[in-house]
Amino acid sequence: MEILNSLIANLQTPMFLAFLLGIFATLVKSDLKFPDGMYTGITIYLLFAIGLKGGVKLNSTTIEEFYKPAIAALTLCISIPILAYYILTKLGGYDKENAAALSAHYGSVSAVTFSEALAFLESLHIPYEGYMPSMLAIMEIPAIIVALFILKINSSKEKESMSWKKVAHELFTGKGTLLLIGGLIIGMISGKKGHEQFAPLFEVPFRGMLILFLLEVGIVTGRRITDLKKAGVFLIAFGILFPICNGMFGLILGKTVGLSMGGATILATLSASASYIAAPAAIRIAIPEASPAIYLTSSLAITFPFNLSVGLPLYLSVSKYLYGV
């Protein structure tokens, strides 16, 4: 009953409904589309806003409060791609390149899923630690590096196509990383005084921008729905069951390191999410042999909609059970 109530509450949020509208627009072949550059502009806004707000909270957070959750986040983004790789190669029968590509996507995180988790908890008036955006920044890059390292040590021949210099440049200078980490640093240095200056632009309009972004993501997801016919049963099952397992792992770890119920729910959501911004850019350079039809379909057309609709209320309901609420 608790899961059902949370599910109904989530399905009624304007963010999720906008996502559905985007899918519907694609399925009915509507001419709805965002102007060139608007998608990029909204992405920049959301990532920078997340970083800025998280940095302000970090300004008043002690090392004692922060270091255990940070270690938990690192543990998750290192262990998830390792587990994913061996599941995909041993049980799924995937070749090493596609297994590593998928592992990188599932070990990394989705900023949009994270943003929706924040909005979902806030709509239910459930508090969470203000420094959680820093967990997003911590978890975005390491998993991709781990997945590429796994591929390297499991390859019988040296991969000429893998340029670590190019990959590192993409990872550490990409807009997602720069905006998140840069925003965190700016918010942390400027503190509450700085927050007063940027709050009118980055606080109140945030949810409206998120709704627009999810409308566009819905349009993009709708274009990938037809790829599900080619995905196969294993990939569909993996794209749903693996995130659930990761989410439960994240919940338990979050409770263990002392996060609040809301904080543990967010950590679970990060653990269960799959990147479709940072990881694809890096994988395109590092593993050109990997098929975008596999890793983009899995992360964007299977895992993202699942987390947005069912995953968030599921993680919250299990979190309530763990915390005895």
- 8-state DSSP, 108: S
Window from 19-23, 60-64, 130-134, 227-231 with minimum mean pLDDT: 227-231
Window from 137-141, 183-187, 225-229, 244-248 with minimum mean pLDDT: 225-229
Q: d(Cα 195, Cα 218) in Å, to the nearest integer?
A: 31
Q: How many CA atoms lie within 13 A of 138 on its CB side?
A: 23
Predicted pLDDT of residue 53: 87
Residue 52: which domain range? 1-323
Predicted pLDDT of residue 154: 81
Q: Which region, left, alpha or beta, applies to residue 125 given φ > 0 means left and ψ of -120 to 50 means alpha?
A: left
Q: How confident is the model at residue 175 (pLDDT cuts 50, 70, 90)?
A: confident
Predicted pLDDT of residue 109: 93
Predicted pLDDT of residue 102: 96
Q: Is 176 helix (H, G, I), strand (E, B) or coil?
A: helix
Distances (CA, A) of 94 to 97, 122, 201: 8, 40, 46
Q: d(Cα 87, Cα 200) in Å, to the nearest integer?
A: 46
Predicted confidence (pLDDT) at residue 160 exceeds the cutoff of 70: no
Predicted confidence (pLDDT) at residue 1 exceeds the cutoff of 50: yes
Query: What are the backbone dihedrals phi and psi of residue 204, each rounded to the nearest 5 degrees, phi first?
Result: -65, -45
Predicted pLDDT of residue 158: 47
Q: Which region, left, alpha or beta, applies to residue 258 given φ > 0 means left and ψ of -120 to 50 means alpha?
A: left
Which is it for the CA torsion 144, 93, 222, 248, positive or negative?
Answer: negative
Residue 282: name the closest of 158, 159, 135, 148 by CA: 148
Q: Structural domain tally of the chain?
A: 1
pLDDT (tens digit per residue) in 239-265: 999 999 999 999 999 999 999 999 999
Q: What are the tokens at 135?
A: 């967990």
Instruction: Summarize the confidence of residues 302-308 as an average pLDDT.
Output: 94
pLDDT (tens digit per residue) in 40-57: 899 899 989 988 988 888
% of the chain at pLDDT higher than 70: 96
Query: CATH number for the domain including 164?
Result: 1.20.1530.20
Predicted confidence (pLDDT) at residue 163 exceeds the cutoff of 70: no
% of the chain at pLDDT higher than 90: 53
Name which residue leads in pLDDT, 135 or 286. 135
Distances (CA, A) of 169 to 20, 74, 95, 175: 35, 21, 26, 11
Predicted confidence (pLDDT) at residue 161 exceeds the cutoff of 70: no
Q: What are the tokens at 162?
A: 């893998």
What's at 177, amino acid-wise?
Answer: T
Instruction: Summarize the confidence of residues 194-203 as an average pLDDT.
Output: 88
What average pLDDT does the structure give for the chain? 89
Query: Residue 17 belongs to what H/E stretch?
Result: helix 14-27
